[in-house]
């Protein structure tokens, strides 16, 4: 489902004397449907960078990123937009909040974007929010005033609203208590069971051990850190 070949990336900081910082070289990775791969490595080793590159948020200088039939590294913007809508989901570490939109609609949005009828989309959103223990009285409020943990759970609900064939999860259990951690892990397991290919970053070792089928250490792909 996801196949990364010889991926490389540099950052060129023009406003700091054009310093060129290589952050990735020769990365290879394959993730099959129903498989969860955990990215590991020390902080700053490029785990989030790799994830953002798969999503198309960061540009790749060399190599290929195949998600299904699309090479994200070379695709047209509209192809990536379509991919993000239908195929590739991303739960980032922080919820980017749009002011004034109620939580229910924040979670329902991915479904609305693919044309799901409003009522159906909202029903699914309600189910997920209930599962993640967000009190119903908060559903009509914007998440701007929620706590970090609550925002993270809204973020996760949004990521799981649509059954993406491929999912990227960046620290999905951070800031969560034991109960909610359990809910998120079972959501991940359910996604695997229906055939999703998942790439995740889990600093939480027990969580990682529970859902990851494989671990990939990205230190080997980071120039300056390897060897």
Partner 1 sequence: MTPLLQVRDIAKFYGHRMGCTGVGFDLYPGEVMGIVGESGSGKSTLLNCLAGHLVPDQGRVMFDTRTEGPRDTVTMSEPERRMLSRTDWAFVHQHARDGLRMGVSAGGNVGERLMAVGARHYGDIREQAVDWLGRVEISEDRIDDRPSAFSGGMQQRLQIARNLVTGPRLVFMDEPTGGLDVSVQARLLDLLRGLVREMGLSAIIVTHDLAVVRLLADRLMVMKDGHVVESGLTDQVLDDPQHAYTQLLVSSVLQV
Order the strands of the 214-217 sheet from edge to edge.
88-91, 166-170, 197-201, 36-40, 214-217
Close Cβ partners of 196 (under 8 Å, ≥ 6 residues apart): 33, 34, 163, 164, 165, 166, 167
> Which is nearer to partner 1, 78 or 137 (by Cβ)?
78
Distance in Å, CB of 126 to partner 1, minimum: 20
Structure-token pair, residue 137: 């009285």
Distance in Å, CB of 194 to partner 1, minimum: 27
**Site residues (vs partner 1, CB under 8 A):** 11-15, 52, 56-59, 77-78, 80-81, 98-101, 112-113
Under 8 Å between Cβ of 3 and 30: yes
**DSSP secondary structure code for residue 145 in this structure:** G
Under 8 Å between Cβ of 97 and 142: yes
> Which is nearer to partner 1, 113 or 138 (by Cβ)?
113
> Which is nearer to partner 1, 14 or 137 (by Cβ)?
14
> Which is nearer to partner 1, 105 or 171 (by Cβ)?
105
Distance in Å, CB of 218 to partner 1, minimum: 18
Distance in Å, CB of 192 to partner 1, minimum: 27
């Amino acid at each position: 489902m996801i196949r990364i070949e010889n991926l490389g990336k540099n950052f060129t900081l023009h406003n700091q004397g054009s310093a060129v910082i290589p952050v990735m070289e020769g990365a290879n990775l394959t993730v099959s449907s129903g498989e969860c791969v955990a990215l590991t490595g020390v902080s700053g080793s490029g785990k989030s960078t790799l994830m953002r590159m798969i999503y198309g948020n960061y540009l790749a200088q060399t190599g290929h990123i195949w998600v299904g039939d699309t090479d994200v590294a070379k695709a047209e913007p509209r192809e990536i937009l379509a991919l993000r809508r239908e195929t590739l989901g991303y739960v980032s570490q922080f919820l980017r909040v749009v002011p004034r939109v109620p939580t229910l609609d924040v979670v329902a949005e991915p479904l609305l974007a693919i044309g799901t009828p409003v009522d159906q989309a909202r029903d699914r959103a309600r189910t997920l929010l209930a599962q993640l223990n967000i009190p119903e009285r908060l559903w009509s409020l914007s998440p701007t005033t929620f706590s970090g943990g609550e925002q993270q759970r809204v973020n996760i609900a949004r990521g799981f609203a649509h059954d993406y064939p491929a999912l990227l999860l960046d620290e999905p259990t951070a800031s969560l208590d034991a109960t909610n951690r359990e809910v998120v892990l079972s959501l991940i397991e359910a996604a695997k069971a229906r055939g999703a290919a998942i790439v995740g970053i889990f600093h939480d070792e027990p969580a990682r051990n529970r859902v990851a089928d494989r671990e990939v250490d990205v230190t080997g792909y980071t120039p300056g850190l390897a060897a």
